Amino acid sequence: MNNLYEIIGKLLAAFAVGLLAYLVPKAKAWLQANTDAATQENIRKLVQSFARAAEQLYHDQDPDGQKRQQFVQEQLRAMGVVVTEAVISMIEGAVWEINTENRKALVQTKETVSGGAE
């Protein structure tokens, strides 16, 4: 009878090890995918905030955008973000969004001024 309990115990242990060997890589992959997505979203939000701040601070002083880009990169580094090519692309995307919004606002302002003069 003791042999039977010993065999059952070993089978259960083997099953538990096999189950863990199957589940651990799946869980690790899921965590990495979700963590990376969340991290990228947080970096994107930081980039947008810093790009808007740089636009507000340096718009009149920095016609070519070098100071603004430097400001954004310095702020990201201060937050512990490694500035890679992907992050630089995010910065460029945020700048494009700001420029698009500014152009729309300028057109709306011109339409309002023109419409009021008629």
Give the pTM: 0.63
Angle, CA of 68, 69 and 73, to the nearest 5°: 120
Is the pLDDT reported for residue 118 higher than 60? no
Structure tokens at 79: 């937050």
pLDDT of res. 73: 96
Rounded Cα distance between 107 and 112, Å, is 9
What is the per-residue pLDDT across 42-80, written as a single tens digit (0 to 9) for each? 999 999 999 999 999 998 898 888 999 999 999 999 999
pLDDT of residue 89 exceeding 80: yes
- Measured between alpha carbons, how far is 113 from 92 in angstroms, rounded to an integer? 31
How high is the pLDDT of residue 115? Answer: 62
- Tens digit of each residue's pLDDT (9 = 90 or more) over 6-55: 888 888 888 888 887 888 887 777 666 666 888 888 999 999 999 999 99
Q: At what angle do helices 2-58 and 85-117 cross, to 10 degrees?
A: 40
